[in-house]
Amino acid sequence: MTTTRLTMAQALLKFLDAQYISVDGVETKFVHGVMGIFGHGNVTGLGEALERSAGDLVFVQGKNEQGMVHAAAAYAKQKNRRQIWACTSSIGPGALNMVTAAATATVNRIPVLLLPGDNFACRQPDPVLQQIEAPSDYTVSAADAFKPVSRYWDRISRPEQLITAARQAMRVLTDPAETGAVTLALPQDVQAEAYDYPDALFEKTVHIIDRRPPSVEGLKRAAARITSSKRPLIIAGGGVHYSDATGELAAFAEAFGIPVAETQAGKSVLPWNHPLNLGAMGVTGSLAANRIAAQADLIIGIGTRYSDFTTSSKWAFQREGVSFLNLNVNGADSAKLGGEAFLADAKEGLSALHAKLSEENYVSGYGDGEIAALKEEWDREVDRLYAAEHPDGLAQTRALGVINESIDPSSVIVCAAGSLPGDLHRLWRPAEPKTYHMEYGFSCMGYEVSGAFGTALAEPEREVYAMVGDGSYLMMHSEMVTSLQEKRKITILLFDNHGFQCIHNLQRGNGSDGFGNEFRVREEGTGRLTGDYLPIDFAAHARALGAKAYKAGTPEELRQALAQAQQETVTTLIEIPVVPGTNTDGYESWWRVEVPEVSTSAKVTDAQREMAARSKEAKPY
């Protein structure tokens, strides 16, 4: 056996540089590069290796550890999980900054490789700067915080441990059913220690992603569920995209007359104007999708994790005896809602079901024109909201209409939190797959700008728009600077509604008078945040960072700003003041939040009684 003497950090990069995946015979280099912020704990280990031994791996300098991991996750999501970035940080606070983004990736089933620096394994200089000392367990460090949010976690305490740990990391990162954040904690001394690594570790490795076919019996059971139903509804999740199954989904729905509703991750699997596309499902759903869901006798979930927003807290499906058929590669997701687990790749499963149901001449039992009538009614409602005027200024739904009508249909919009996800899920009209990029598994504020940068890295030929509220922008906009540094233009559409208005609406809808959610000056006398709105100039802030910037307070100004932004060659921000509370709501959906049983406010106790009554209508499964 031949060997090469390398430091652990050098060996890790050499290994990552040799990893490829193959899907349907198409081979792709799996690890595109490393995003990093250096500090003690990685600068003289992994940092030195990146400086001199990176191979073909690209290095991108992050500006915030959480932001760079969001960018890496967005890149992998846009690439349908077929190419990733690794992310490196220092120990302590630098490492902990990545934990939120690790959870975001794991919840969304998106692969990212995290390489946080860690304490000295030898403990000679113990305790070091930024080290957490846990008296009850001295082996614990900040890196242990990644355990509950990682699909695989390991600590490389000796350089030779890398051999097995790196291979296990690849196993999880490339597994469609198990993927998520993978964390390899790297003690700062071990990164620099040398070992005679077997050359076989660095040979080109192709991880073949075999599409999981359905079992013979599983296919029979799935077909039997469908043929016994008259009013089935497909709920399409992100797994349809990741499997490249949009064509198979369209063919399946058309062949058997089955309408389709979309989750946030699944939106754009069908064009918005496809006759069987009912639009958004659930709490942020369309009237058409929610009405059909309420009377469906079979829910066919494809590649969805059935979050509470998708199921309206398990209240959406009201028909007595409604059953579930869950096509998914993930066993846990396929077992949800007490459904029939149909374990298979979405593309393979849909193709097999299509052939089976064709043999049995199945067709759904929806009445003539029923789907078309509901869809037409919903389209008119979207048209109304897109045209809505408000006496106090620009309504949020009006702004979205102008944007949707103005930008190129091939552009990608990126969003994550606040009131925008609800409006976009209901109202946005995508014409092409993968043009709607929503992180709503974790709804992590601060993802939007970072995610747009990662999406632009993945698809540099497309225009990419970050849809972000002022609250989320203030939480994290650091990777705007990275986009300028990397010359990857994004356009940030900043909706300024003076605070956390989504939660403000939720608060007031459950009996509150509104407290602590608007960006107001503290008022003399009351001591509360009830004074004037804070006068924040977001356009000026963006210009100060080197971006181009515009302000648009009317539909005409917004159209003009969008046209000008399209001509810009660098990252551009458009500040869009919108009237608070002009977002969408309702459409025969419900979301469970807990309201106090005891309050000095009668409005709160009334809201609690209403919530408790609706909770009794929700299913327990």
Return the DSSP state at 345. Answer: -
Residue 591 maps to a domain: no
Q: What local confidence, expressed as pLDDT, does residue 509 receive?
A: 83
Residue 620 has pLDDT above 90, yes or no: no
Secondary structure (H, E, C), 273-291: CCCCEEEECCCCCCHHHHH
164 and 226 share one domain: no
How far apart CA 438 and CA 234 sit, in angstroms, is 20
Residue 408 has pLDDT above 90, yes or no: yes
3-state secondary structure of 312: coil
101 and 241 share one domain: no
332 and 416 share one domain: no
- Describe the crossing of helices 555-567 and 396-406 by its angle, rounded to 10 degrees: 40
157 and 268 share one domain: no
274 and 404 share one domain: no
User: Residue 201 is which amino acid?
Assistant: L
Number of CB atoms found within 10 A of residue 515's CB: 12
H or E, element range at 370: helix 370-386
C-alpha R_g of the chain: 25
- Spatial neighbors of 258 by CB under 8 A, at least 6 apart, are 232, 233, 234, 252, 276, 300, 364
Return the DSSP state at 367. Answer: P
H or E, element range at 169: helix 162-173
How far apart CA 314 and CA 338 sit, in angstroms, is 12
Residue 585 maps to a domain: no
Q: Given its phi and psi angles, is residue 556 left (phi above 0), alpha (psi -120 to 50 degrees) or beta?
A: alpha
Range of the domain at 296: 216-374
The answer, yes or no, to whether the previous bond of 127 is cis (omega within 30 of 0) is yes
CATH of the domain at 332: 3.40.50.1220
203 and 221 share one domain: no
In the numeric block, which tokens belong to residue 289? 């999708």
Q: How far is CA 431 from CA 129, 249, 250, 289, 436, in A?
A: 52, 16, 14, 18, 10
Tell me the pLDDT tens digit for each residue of 296-335: 999 999 999 999 999 999 999 999 999 999 999 999 999 9
Q: Among residues 577, 593, 608, which one ends one of the domains?
A: 577
What's the whole-number average pLDDT of the chain? Answer: 96
Q: How far is CA 181 from the centre of its chain?
A: 13
Q: What local confidence, expressed as pLDDT, does residue 149 receive?
A: 98
CATH of the domain at 427: 3.40.50.970
pTM: 0.97
Find where tokens 């899907």 sit.
23
How far apart CA 575 and CA 414 sit, in angstroms, is 16
User: Residue 151 is which amino acid?
Assistant: R
Lowest mean pLDDT, pick from 106-120, 199-213, 480-494, 590-604: 590-604
198 and 88 share one domain: yes
- Spatial neighbors of 415 by CB under 8 A, at least 6 apart, are 421, 424, 437, 438, 439, 448, 466, 467, 468
Tell me the pLDDT tens digit for each residue of 215-231: 999 999 999 999 999 99
H or E, element range at 300: strand 298-302
Find where tokens 């992603």 sit.
209
Tell me the pLDDT tens digit for each residue of 152-188: 999 999 999 999 999 999 999 999 999 999 999 999 9
CB environment 34-45: b (16+ within 10 A), e (fewer): bbbbbbbbbbeb
How far apart CA 146 and CA 548 sit, in angstroms, is 37
Residue 446 maps to a domain: yes
Contact call for residues 385 and 427 (beta carbons, < 8 A): yes
Number of H helices, E strands in the chain: 24, 23
Tell me the pLDDT tens digit for each residue of 348-399: 999 999 999 999 999 999 988 999 999 999 999 999 999 999 999 999 999 9
Tell me the pLDDT tens digit for each residue of 449-478: 999 999 999 999 999 999 999 999 999 999
- Spatial neighbors of 461 by CB under 8 A, at least 6 apart, are none
Residue 600 maps to a domain: no
Residue 417 maps to a domain: yes
Residue 521 maps to a domain: no
430 and 327 share one domain: no
Q: Terminal CA-to-CA distance of the chain, rounded, Å?
A: 55
Residue 320 maps to a domain: yes
CB environment 197-227: b (16+ within 10 A), e (fewer): beeebbeeeeeebebbebeeebbeebbebbe
Residue 483 has pLDDT above 90, yes or no: yes
276 and 226 share one domain: yes
Return the DSSP state at 417. Answer: S
3-state secondary structure of 555: helix
525 — pLDDT class (breaks 50, 70, 90): confident
How far apart CA 392 and CA 401 sit, in angstroms, is 18
Number of domains forming the structure of the chain = 3
Residue 246 maps to a domain: yes
| Segment 489-495 mean pLDDT | 98
The two beta strands, 3-7 and 194-198, are antiparallel
545 and 430 share one domain: yes
302 and 155 share one domain: no
Comparing CA positions, the residue from 58, 57, 63 lying closest to residue 485 is 63
How far apart CA 74 and CA 593 sit, in angstroms, is 29
In the numeric block, which tokens belong to residue 455? 């999406």
- Spatial neighbors of 30 by CB under 8 A, at least 6 apart, are 19, 20, 21, 82, 83, 84, 170, 173, 174, 207
How far apart CA 63 and CA 133 sit, in angstroms, is 27
| Segment 520-542 mean pLDDT | 93
Residue 621 has pLDDT above 80, yes or no: no
Residue 618 has pLDDT above 90, yes or no: no
Q: How many residues does the chain have?
A: 621
DSSP lists the bridge partners of residue 5 as 196
Q: Among residues 208, 231, 252, which one ends one of the domains?
A: 208
The two beta strands, 412-415 and 340-343, are unpaired
Contact call for residues 42 and 115 (beta carbons, < 8 A): yes
Q: What local confidence, expressed as pLDDT, does residue 328 receive?
A: 98
239 and 147 share one domain: no
